[in-house]
Structure 1
Amino acid sequence: MAYDGGRWVLSEWEGVLAMGPLAPDGTDVPPSAEGGEWQASGRTRGRGDLGLTVAALDSSPGAPPEDDVTSDSESEEADDMYTDRNGMCYCTEHRRERCGVCCFDFTVMNNMRRAENRGQTPDYDAVAHASYDAADAEMRAVVQAYAAEGGSGTLELGGDTYKPITWDELRELRGAPATGRTLEVRVQELVPFLRVTCECKDRKGKVRTIAFYSSRAPDGLRQGCVLRWRNPHYHWFMGGQEGARVEDDDLQSITCSSE
């Protein structure tokens, strides 16, 4: 397993992920710094994510409830961690307890804080182990879903690799590739033309055109499928349409599935 530009990469997955310490900036701490190493078995530790794209299994609790939202005087915000007035911790950017993009996991800490806020004296070891067991179960579910979808080889969890991008956000880049982002759209209609062309709708409901100037269309492309394109780029067509133009070099970054 390795940390590669904002994502955890696990090759030939066997068993449950165990994470070592992380530096405050979210990068892994070299073994010489704290005497630890990344391992491929054991329990999930530290601030890892499990925010996964496989079968949409991101179970992060997300932002705190409205009654937990506080003013600046009642909360603290560091570069990468937000703490509300109840002492609950979330990633600063997305307000998630467990975030796949930021690679943070505050679950154990927050579970202990919840018990303390209820006036209980928690059994810290028991709370920690229960949280680890829940994380282990989630990881096993992810691996099973990955295998069921025909996945093999490297499984990437979290990181900006799977951070979605909308048509409008992609358009703002003015043709530059959205490195580390994924365009996820549903194919609404296949348009008969000299080349494969389709109308695709993103999660915001915006419909744009994708035209394949490649030697072939991606496997599984059909009406109703979900097309995911890693590192996409926007294109303005001569006929006035907007969307994306796919070349042969882009095909390796595109997948099509039923969901």
Structure 2
Amino acid sequence: MVDALDGRYPRNWAESWDRVGLVLGEFEHAVARVLCVVDCVPETVDQALEVGADLIVAHHPLLLKPVSSIAPDTFKGRIVHRLIRAEVALFTAHTNADVANPGVSDALAARLGLTGLRPLAPAEGAAAGGGRGAGRIGELAEPLTLAELTALAAARLPATAGGVRAAGDPGRVIRTMAVCGGAGDSFLTEAARAGVDAYLCADLRHHPAGEHLANDGPALLDAAHWATERPWLDDVAAWLRAEFPVDVVVSDLDTDPWTVHTASAHKETHP
């Protein structure tokens, strides 16, 4: 199964700083049940043990940055020890799944009903060609105002405490849009250059978003990081079921760190 996953999401498609592929587990380990998750965290490890998973396929790397210890009194060490004791393997597909075709942003675009997809930032190097690259650009089934599109995104994406927020004229008509699963403000320039009407991603920051809008860039929609990547799990699960005689469980545990959202009751005015 590792060979098949590596074939679908080659490791050399990943960014140089990324850490992907098999993290834990024996290559000969028999797999009867797989759990697909965005994050390998204590809650999803609990779920893996509850459902009897032999393998976790995760999007975000557990060991992205170097560590000097995996002692059981550390956050990552506890996870590693639990997985090893339970004989649960861990595989990660991150930026190599982001640029894949189909990949993370294809699944996000499908949730919004976008058609005519093409990469927002075409891949270079080993991943070049084949329609691969970061983000996707497509057309909506019908024109929507920004307010209507924001409501549609909130309804179509997994629910989170943060929901979906938008920046721009609520009445602006949106026909074409770009999407990017996960953090996407590094592609604001590409979205503006593409001439789309709106751009949806996660983790937009105050100053880059403000400057983008001041320069007449596309309207912006900001969703929770987990919510923009969760749709990809369904695609991975469907592929695994088609390729192997295994049970596949998709985790719907919301691992977004933001758990409470309260709208401001009033706006302060300053002289």
TM bracket, shorter-chain basis: under 0.3
* TM-score after normalising by structure 1: 0.27
TM-score (norm 2): 0.26
Which structure has more relative contact order (CA 8 Å, sep 6+)? It is: 2
Higher helix share: 2
